[in-house]
């Protein structure tokens, strides 16, 4: 895998080639739906459901097993709850799915930890 150079913006590590780091830092545009010091959430550019939000840690970490401080999972799920409670469409009341693809066989295409929050249609099981 291509090694990415590490820069720091406002003291925080960012990976210069990582699109989700660029979205978190504001270098790249995205439809941001939630932001705090630790977590950023934005609409997926290729939505797989009527509501499709990506939730990421603001600081770069590749995937679940690279996480050292597990507090970030609490921060992410707290943000998910805020997004769900603030939603005006009513989609989440019918149900939703949270999923994190990890590694190539897991379907991960962007190597910055993220959770997909999907809603607004009937989800299928098993997933493809
Ligand atoms: P993965 O395939 O790694 O689980 O999820 C990556 C997700 O990021 C995909 O659903 C893809 O559509 C989304 N994505 C990739 N590039 C961009 C981008 O530049 N902006 C936004 N908003 N989403 C992106
Ligand atoms: Zn990143």
Rounded distance between C-alpha atoms, residue 36 and residue 41, angstroms: 9
C-alpha 127 – ligand 1 centre gap (Å): 18
The string of pLDDT tens digits covering residues 27-39 is 999 999 999 999 9
Q: 52 CB under 6 A from ligand 1?
A: no
How many C-beta neighbours within 10 Å does residue 29 have?
A: 9
User: Exposed (0-12), middle (13-18) or buried (19+): which is 80, by Cβ within 10 Å?
Assistant: buried
Q: 99 CB under 6 A from ligand 1?
A: no
Residue 100: strand, helix, or coil: coil
Rounded distance between C-alpha atoms, residue 116 and residue 35, angstroms: 16
Name the helix (H) or strand (E) containing 83: helix 71-86
C-alpha 86 – ligand 2 centre gap (Å): 26
The string of pLDDT tens digits covering residues 89-121 is 999 999 999 999 999 999 999 999 999 999 999
- The contacts of residue 51 (CB under 8 Å, 6+ apart) are 87, 89, 91, 92, 96, 117, 118, 119, 120
Residue nearest to atom 18 of ligand 1 (CA): 45
Q: Looking at the predicted structure, is the pLDDT value of residue 9 above 60?
A: no
Ligand that lies nearest to the alpha carbon of residue 112, given by its number in the listed order: 2
> What is the mean predicted confidence (pLDDT) over 78-87?
97
The per-residue pLDDT for 96 is: 98
Mean pLDDT computed over every residue of the chain: 92
């Amino acid at each position: 895998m291509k090694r990415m150079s590490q820069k720091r913006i406002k003291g925080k590590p960012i990976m210069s080639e990582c699109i989700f780091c660029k979205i978190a830092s504001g270098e790249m545009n995205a439809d941001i739906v939630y932001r705090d010091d630790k977590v950023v959430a934005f609409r997926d550019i290729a939505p797989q459901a009527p509501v499709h939000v990506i939730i990421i840690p603001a600081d770069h970490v590749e995937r679940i097993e690279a996480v050292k401080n597990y507090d970030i999972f609490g921060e992410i799920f707290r943000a998910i709850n805020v997004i769900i409670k603030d939603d005006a469409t009513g989609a989440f009341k019918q149900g939703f799915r949270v999923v994190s693809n990890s590694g190539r066989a897991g379907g991960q295409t962007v190597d910055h930890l993220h959770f997909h929050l999907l809603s607004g249609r009937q989800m299928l099981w098993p997933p493809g």
